Structure 1
Amino acid sequence: MSVTEYFSSDYAEARKKFIDAAREAGATHERFVNPEKGPNGEELSTDIAWLGPRDADNVLVTMSATHGAEGFCGSGVQVGWFKSGRAARLPANMALLQIHAINPFGFAWIRRTNEDNVDLNRNFVDFNHPLPVNDGYVKYQDIICPKEWSDEIAAKTSAEIDRLIEELPPLVMQGAVSSGQYVDPNGVFYGGTRPTWSRKTLGTIIETHLTSRKRVGIIDYHTGLGPRGYGERIGDGGPGNPAWDRAQDWWGDLTSSDDGSSTSAPLHGTNLNGMVALMPGVEVTSIALEYGTRPLHDVLLAVRSDAWLHAYGDLNSDQGRAIKAFVRDAFYQDADDWKQMIWSRGIDTQEIALARLAD
């Protein structure tokens, strides 16, 4: 089977491929149904597959579609891991847990965000305490998320953002746009006002399957930043943080958004930090695997135009369809060479994690 056949053209196809591949590999399957429907009225769900002993001390977790539109990438690696036969070669006392489409709404609707326009990777904050403040977003909100949209407005605001990225210190403007904000429910990188369905579902999965383990490795698949097709391994924290140091020892080429070595700005409320907090007493080693697609200028434009479209536009208009096609291409490069790069880096990353968990 060609590597390209592991990838899918939409959420429904990806879900079917994942379930079929998991069952063929002998994995057990569970489903968590989302309350919303897909663009064709289809039922949406997060699906998980468990392979290996139920009492395994060590578990490797992979997760796709934290940002829904990025789900094509992680789903392809997850399907391929089963279809290629690699899943059958688990080390002793090891299990594999694959979490497919943790944000099924975003995957189906080609949105990074969920049914409430919430970015799941900004939602893992303590809502009983004051929320993070992003002064940069507030300052530049009218540029980042204008309430009217046209080719002229897109070009003008994009040029202004590009100018500010060049003029301000490194990652300051990118942080203003993407680090997370909790004031504009129609805006970009919105963290929400309460835990989302996806966050609660992830908590249930962790409580049921992971809290009694000794060691857990997590790989969360993302796209949109960095050189096309390259998979950047981004760790939590930075040098001196035991979990980051352990991940660096595993993979050897880690970057950190906290020390400026990553293509990502520092983020509020990430799911990896949230997952670790739910597993006290478990040694957790986690990374985000971030694959490049298009230039940052295009990716930010896709995020901004999609936010405008769902807040103020018409999905069924020519403009709406053009924006959706642009968003899809910003997070999923439907090209054989890109898929091969995603697959090669993904299996290498997972095989290293399995070997180190088995040490």
Structure 2
Amino acid sequence: MQAQPTAAMRFFSGTYVEARAKFLEAAAQRGATVESFVMEAHRGALGEELATDVALVGAIDAKKVLLVSSGTHGPEGFCGSGTQIATLNDADLLSRLEQAGVSLLLVHAVNPHGFSHLHRTNEDNIDLNRNHIDFNAPLPVNAEYADVEPLVLPATWPPTPADEAAVATYVEKHGMRAFRAAVTRGQYTSPDGLFYGGTAPSWSNRTIRKILRKYAASATHLGWIDVHTGLGPYGHGEKIYPGRNTPEDLARAHAWWGADVFAPFAGDSASADVSGPVISTAYDECPNAKIAPMGLEFGTLPDLEVLDRLRADTWLRRHPEAPEAQKREIRTRLRDGFYCDNDEWKGMILGQTRVVLLQTLQGLRKA
């Protein structure tokens, strides 16, 4: 007898196409206002239309907005989409939001190209959490990246023992913390390298700004949860504060979400202190709002294993001549590095996300 799908299973999807269809269906059933921002220049892995879809539950001119975004980093969208669809099916939570006068704004697939094609980066190999900077100012400098790129992106994949020994030598000399920072904090000099930030605002950057201007322009208070995966212990949701380093903003984050909020700039987060996260656009586009941002980061595999899978994916972009079997293996391993397709993990994600959303609602209600 075949087991019946659990509640946790039915909210999640196996492809971008399935995730988008489920999201749009759930939004329609909830009576949400829906708008799709279609990526005209590209198609998906199955030839499908690519879009960032928005669902608004509540008033478009609400003073208090709870925003949940997914898929900033491509296949991390499998997790984020599941949490958004679960939220649209959570009648109790939606009733609490309505009673508090808080609008719920769901942004599905910030990076639809990466979601569909199973790349963490976008159509131009841009890491979107390194792209939301002021491009009229000098680009951030990561001088150490040039030294580590030949080590982490060798000529062949998988790396040879000599390649791995070179990485080990760098780590021994500079330390693991310095190695990770050099690789992951973002770089603007190597377009086909790791954690590339781009030289201009990406399509997704421009799109998220349009969404904020239209759906959060009236907000005096904005709580933004951007769902991520790939860092930290398996199934644990770290509350990462990617906002401004001011006493007022930090105090707001701790008041809303508790003592277990970690800031990359303080050095106590699983995340590097990166330049240009997507959430930073709120400060530009909603200047009259008090903003409480969170990157909700769910662990999957050990950090260095996830990084190795990112290295493989970036190597593959440099080597389109790779055999088809190797391409499939690298893409599958990348997906599995950011999405644990089992009930245990999904249940952990849904439970912790609901707690964070309730905490955010309470913060907005009291603001």
Match of 2:290, as an amino acid? E
SS at match of 1:23: helix
1:251 to 244, 249, 257: 257
Name the counterpart of 1:56: 62
CA RMSD of aligned residues (A): 1.7
Distance 1:9 1:245, change over 3 A: same
Distance 1:32 1:330, change over 3 A: same
| C-alpha deviation, 1:212, in angstroms | 1.7
1:262 to 269, 285, 295: 269
- TM-score, length-scaled by structure 2: 0.93
| C-alpha deviation, 1:172, in angstroms | 1.3
| C-alpha deviation, 1:171, in angstroms | 2.3
| C-alpha deviation, 1:159, in angstroms | 5.2
SS at match of 2:107: strand
Give CA-to-partner distance per residue, 1:91-113, whole Å, 9 cap, x none. 33210000000100000011110
Name the counterpart of 2:147: 139
| 1:23 equivalent in alignment to 2:28 | yes
Give CA-to-partner distance per residue, 1:103-158, whole Å, 9 cap, x none. 00000011110000001100011111210111111111101222x222243x6545
Match of 1:81, as an amino acid? T
Distance 1:82 1:305, change over 3 A: same
1:171–1:265 CA contact under 8 A, matched in 2:
no
| C-alpha deviation, 1:222, in angstroms | 0.5
Give CA-to-partner distance per residue, 1:37-77, whole Å, 9 cap, x none. 01111110000000012332100000000101110111000
| 1:317 equivalent in alignment to 2:328 | no
1:227 to 227, 233, 240: 233
Counterpart Cα distance in 2 of 1:80 and 1:294: 24
| C-alpha deviation, 1:345, in angstroms | 0.7
Match of 1:140, as an amino acid? V
Counterpart Cα distance in 2 of 1:58 and 1:109: 35
Distance 1:165 1:243, change over 3 A: farther
1:132–1:181 CA contact under 8 A, matched in 2:
yes
Name the counterpart of 1:73: 79
| 1:344 equivalent in alignment to 2:351 | yes
1:64–1:99 CA contact under 8 A, matched in 2:
yes
| C-alpha deviation, 1:325, in angstroms | 1.0
Counterpart Cα distance in 2 of 1:294 and 1:177: 18
After the TM superposition, which residues 24-173 of structure 1 pair with which residues of structure 2 at under 5 Å, given as runs?
A: 24-34=29-39, 35-85=41-91, 86-90=93-97, 91-146=99-154, 148-153=155-160, 156-158=162-164, 160-161=166-167, 164-165=170-171, 167-169=173-175, 171-173=177-179
SS at match of 2:144: helix
For structure 1, list consecutive stretches of 5 or more residues without a partner in the other structure.
Answer: none
| 1:277 equivalent in alignment to 2:284 | yes
Name the counterpart of 2:189: 183
Counterpart Cα distance in 2 of 1:198 and 1:128: 18
Q: Which moved more, 1:229-238 or 1:171-180?
A: 229-238
Counterpart Cα distance in 1 of 2:281 and 2:61: 24
Counterpart Cα distance in 2 of 1:312 and 1:275: 37
For structure 2, list consecutive stretches of 5 or more residues without a partner in the other structure.
Answer: 1-5
SS at match of 2:193: coil
2:255–2:363 CA contact under 8 A, matched in 1:
no
| C-alpha deviation, 1:249, in angstroms | 1.1
Counterpart Cα distance in 2 of 1:89 and 1:237: 26
- Count of equivalent residues: 357
Counterpart Cα distance in 1 of 2:78 and 2:162: 31
1:25–1:88 CA contact under 8 A, matched in 2:
no
Match of 1:235, as an amino acid? Y
Match of 1:80, as an amino acid? A
Distance 1:319 1:231, change over 3 A: same
Match of 1:265, as an amino acid? A
Give CA-to-partner distance per residue, 1:72-92, whole Å, 9 cap, x none. 111000000112323243233
Distance 1:157 1:255, change over 3 A: farther
Give CA-to-partner distance per residue, 1:159-183, whole Å, 9 cap, x none. 5445544653462111100000000
| 1:206 equivalent in alignment to 2:212 | yes
Give CA-to-partner distance per residue, 1:220-275, whole Å, 9 cap, x none. 00011000110000013577432222111111110011111101111011111222
Match of 1:52, as an amino acid? G
Counterpart Cα distance in 2 of 1:130 and 1:81: 40
